[in-house]
Amino acid sequence: MRNPNGFGTVYKMPGRRRKPWCARITTGWKKTIAQRGKHKGQEVIRQVYQTIGYFETKQEGIDALAMHRIDPVPPRVNITLGELYDEWSATKYNSDISRDTINNYKAAWLHIKKLEKAKFKDLRTAHWQKVIDEKKEELGHSSLKKIKTLVAMLYQYALKNDIVKKNYAEFIELPRAMKKEKQIFTDLDIQKMFKNVASSPWVDTILILIYTGMRISEMLQLTKFNVDLEREIITGGIKTEAGKNRIIPINRKILPFIKK
């Protein structure tokens, strides 16, 4: 029986293929110049096709066309990972993000680039997890997290554009981050620094950091206008909302260093 008008068609492609049956529909018509045949060089009207998928049997193709009428397959469903990344990055990299952020995305892309020829809709958690597992001995937790972040960004873009219906990035599991033991100055170390503060450069700076709890970057941003010697306080701090412009009392032991 012939398929009803607008239903689509299933045809067998030449050669030996695992899935030789192609299901496609007509999405419109366009004018073009014929490249061969009796109308070569003339303007002709051609059908514009959308491929629904490739199948092992003709019946599977017909079933796919029937399902398409119920739940249409988006026109760009066959976009590859590489094409999706190029499209996403063309917009993202021209937006208001820092150069460091762009470099992080580009570095993460190098680790998933080997999948660029794969259709994005065919990629699953196992594909992404394999990348993470293969890189966990080579990369630190931060770099692995950036890979997952990039994949998640690509899924968000694909979901917005009806390319996929599920975000597999959320199922990627990262190895547990190894906590580094922090070395702190002992009371004996601090006493030694006070004894040698006059003869050793920068020791007074280290003592200021110890007694104020400031980060190095916070201290470097201070000016004399941040310091109130009468009230013996410093106003400063960055990074978090709670840390900005906080009041830091000046310990009497480091007051001479602050004045200096």
Mean pLDDT of 20-38: 83
Which architecture does CATH list for 81-171? Answer: Orthogonal Bundle (1.10)
Do strands 9-12 and 233-236 pair parallel, antiparallel, or not at all (unpaired)? Answer: unpaired
What pLDDT is recorded for position 251? 95
What pLDDT is recorded for position 95? 80
Neighbours of 239 (CB within 10 A): 10
Alpha helix positions (H), the chain: 58-70, 81-92, 99-112, 125-135, 141-160, 187-195, 203-212, 216-220, 255-259
- For the chain, give every domain's residue range: 9-70, 81-171, 187-259
Which 8-state DSSP code applies to residue 19? S
What pLDDT is recorded for position 1? 63
Whether the per-residue pLDDT at 244 is higher than 70: the answer is no
Question: Model confidence at 139, in pLDDT bands (50, 70, 90)?
Answer: very high
To the nearest whole number, what is the mean pLDDT of the chain?
88
Question: Model confidence at 74, in pLDDT bands (50, 70, 90)?
Answer: low
Whether the per-residue pLDDT at 239 is higher than 60: the answer is no
The share of the chain scoring above pLDDT 70, in percent, equals 94
What pLDDT is recorded for position 177? 77
The share of the chain scoring above pLDDT 90, in percent, equals 51
Q: Do domains 81-171 and 187-259 have the same CATH topology?
A: no
Angle between helices 141-160 and 81-92 (to 10 degrees): 90
Whether the per-residue pLDDT at 65 is higher than 80: the answer is yes
Neighbours of 196 (CB within 10 A): 10
What pLDDT is recorded for position 161? 84
Whether the per-residue pLDDT at 250 is higher than 60: the answer is yes
Do strands 227-228 and 233-236 pair parallel, antiparallel, or not at all (unpaired)? Answer: antiparallel
What pLDDT is recorded for position 241? 55
Alpha carbons 151 and 128: distance in angstroms, whole number = 8
| Among 87, 146, 162, 76, CA closest to 112 | 146
Does the domain formed by 187-259 have CATH 1.10.10.10? no
CA distance readout (Å), 156 to 44, 148, 188: 40, 12, 54
What pLDDT is recorded for position 240? 54
Supply 203's token pair: 């020791």
What pLDDT is recorded for position 243? 54
Mean pLDDT of 141-170: 93
pLDDT tens across 213-228, in order? 998 888 888 899 999 9
Whether the per-residue pLDDT at 73 is higher than 70: the answer is no
Which 8-state DSSP code applies to residue 16? -
| Among 148, 114, 146, 115, CA closest to 129 | 148
Instruction: Using DSSP, state whether 54 is helix, strand or coil.
Output: strand
